[in-house]
Structure 1
Amino acid sequence: MTGTPINAAQLHSAFELFNRHSDQLEQSYRELQRRVEVLTAQLDVARSARHKELVAKEKLSQRLSLLLEALPGAIVVIDGDGVIQEQNSEALALLNEPLSGCAWASIVRREVREGGSEDGNIQLRDGRWLSLSRRPLANEPGEILLLADVTDSRQMTKLRERQERLTAIGETTAEFAHQVRTPLASAMLYASQLDVDTPARQRIAAKISERLNDLGRMVNDMLGFAAGGKRADEIVDVHTLFEGIRSTLGMQLGANTELSLLVNGTSIDREAADDDAIRFAANRNALQGALTNLIANADQAGGGVATIEVGAWTDNDNIYFTVSDDGPGIPEAIRHRLFEPFFTTRPQGTGLGLAVVADVARSHGGDVRVDTMTRGSRFTLRIPLIGPSNGDAND
């Protein structure tokens, strides 16, 4: 068998074709490599952007979580089946654990007082009141519940309503007391002129005067409570104040009641040096009314047979008035309510006398307290000193 000889030209042509295909393959490889580099760079950019996006979303999620925790209310997220999926710590504090994974209806049965719904609010079994707002989720079935503790605001609303009622009562009472005051004064004057030439008539006249004095105290309590004890800038001399109190009480105290009035431990019946006088700025009428109330209460507590001591002294910042008696004292169970308006333990009392005392103290920037002693009680009225507190006031 004889082979066909290869033409040199054909061989050369074949090599040229091979070289052209090699060049094309090399160019294609380079183009492919370039494309790979471009795609790799684009992928790196995409990965970087994706990473940044994930980081941003993570930061946003953390901020939202912190925001939910910082909200002054409970947040509860429930799904379309009414099952709790998320909640913040305030929700756990209000509704107790467990919450997550529980049906909202079961939480209501567990935590909410039966029948405890009023004005859109719900009451928990421990007595707290919560407001409840519901908002649907935007892109999925379910709701967001917002609960806030409104116990304090409800109490403030009730106190405001009570204050409004008291204001209305005070205005009506003041008008009534003003109308009663004039005929009452006339009746007291006529009673003092009754013929008491026999023991029987003396007893009747004494009873009439006693009841009229009781009515007079009620009227003064009503007027004092309605007017309030606003502080004034007049200079009050304690010695003169005590003399006015003794003159006002007059025959109103029990026949067997002993009243002592002391300034710096010295009776006002003894002549004192002007340096020992106490003078200060206050509302004279309001203060005299407050002390008169305390003395009258002590006399009534002792049944008209009492030893009452009223004292006054100062330190660098305050003046103190004390009213002490040897009566039965005040039960601890009611002591915290003594200064509430309209609280009284006497059938014929208005419950305003001690409320007026407390109001006078507050209006002067001071306070009043009560202490139970071995026998009897002691009320202490403290008033900050404004203005002169010694004899220099009148120089």
Structure 2
Amino acid sequence: LTRLGQQVDVIAEGDFDTHISVATHDEVAVLGDGVDRMSSQLQQMWASLNRTQGEKLLHQIAGGLAHQLRNSLTGARMAVELHHKNCNSPSDEFLDVALAQLEQTDDSVRRLLLVAAGKQDDDHPGLITVAIDDVRNSVSPTAKHLHVDLVWHVDDQLADQTVVDSPSLTAALSNLVLNAMQAAKQVTVRATCINNDHLHIAIIDDGPGPPSEIADELFEPFVTSKPEGLGLGLPLVARAATRLGGEVKWDRIDRDGHNGPQTRFELTAKIIADNPNPKQ
């Protein structure tokens, strides 16, 4: 009974990861089992409460960031468009990429504003290959700047295949690829069709991977190992994966025993039957 009382005191102080073993088979043992069950239930409730509070704070931060970013993006896009018009060169690939990236970011900011308001944008079905090409074109200048060897492998079976919300796929894939490029010098993206009804994308890099102390909570809001990071990118990736009818996960894999292990993030999405742009 003294040990049970001490355990209850520990639980009352907020340490729910406790367990006590009672050797007897009497009422004291039944009471001990009840205390263990209570501790486990409180631990689950506490984790749920933290997630709820984190989501509320995420909405508030998303709203504040989105309002500031949208004002900055408007000015940046106008400046780039004016430069594009006044430029003597009839075609400038990097300006076109910059404009496309600004437009994508503006759409992402608009969606963040909806998240902050507790709403969700309407689905915008789109071709998988178009979304992948958009990400590839947008991150290529960054890869060149960082001297990252970025390689893409896209399954031919994905041609004319569609996901329920193309902007969600673009945002999730872009985030994962940019994260990989910031941590590694070799990044490989493999997009394949699974059983004709699911998209599977693996982003594999030769970086060290997330620190072990945050590995289990990587997709929770505000969990980050970057000093300048907010821990918002991967939770938004997880949110996008859920919207796409899939999931996101990560692990460390061996590379045939050569040059050490690699980090792999896997994103899946459900392929839908309807093609919104058959001629595209």
TM-score by length of 2: 0.66
Unaligned 5+ runs, structure 1: 1-106, 129-144, 195-208, 267-274
Unaligned 5+ runs, structure 2: 21-30, 84-97, 256-260
Among 233, 241, 246, the alignment partner of 2:131 is 241
Shift of 1:283: 1.2
Do the aligned partners of residues 323 and 125 (structure 1) sit closer, same or farther apart at CA in structure 2, a change above 3 Å counting? closer
Give the corresponding residue for 1:296: 178
Q: How does 1:56-71 map to 2 (within 5 A)?
A: none
Give the corresponding residue for 1:350: 230
Give the corresponding residue for 1:258: 149
Shift of 1:127: 4.3
Among 186, 191, 211, the alignment partner of 1:307 is 186
CA contact (8 A) 2:149 2:186 kept: yes
CA contact (8 A) 2:187 2:206 kept: yes
Q: How does 1:132-143 map to 2 (within 5 A)?
A: none
Query: 1:65-91, CA deviations, whole angstroms, 9 ceiling, x for partnerless residues?
Result: xxxxxxxxxxxxxxxxxxxxxxxxxxx
Among 66, 71, 89, the alignment partner of 1:183 is 71
Shift of 1:181: 1.1
Shift of 1:157: 3.3
CA contact (8 A) 1:318 1:382 kept: yes
Q: How does 1:1-395 map to 2 (within 5 A)?
A: 107=1, 109-113=2-6, 116=9, 126-127=18-19, 149-185=37-73, 188=76, 223=112, 226=115, 234-249=124-139, 251-253=141-143, 255=145, 256-264=147-155, 277-302=159-184, 306-316=185-195, 317-332=197-212, 334-373=214-253, 374=255, 375-388=261-274, 394=278
Give the corresponding residue for 2:90: none
Shift of 1:293: 0.5
Give the corresponding residue for 1:83: none
What amino acid maps onto 2:38 in structure 1? V
Q: With CA pairs under 8 Å and 6+ residues apart, which has the higher RCO, 1 or 2?
A: 2
CA contact (8 A) 1:319 1:385 kept: yes
Q: Look up the SS of the partner of 1:240 in the other structure.
A: helix
CA contact (8 A) 2:125 2:276 kept: no
CA radius of gyration, larger in:
1
What amino acid maps onto 1:154 in structure 2? L
How many residue pairs were aligned?
236
Do the aligned partners of residues 236 and 190 (structure 1) sit closer, same or farther apart at CA in structure 2, a change above 3 Å counting? closer
| Bigger share in strand | 1
What amino acid maps onto 1:381 in structure 2? L
How high is the sequence identity, in percent, across the aligned residues? 24
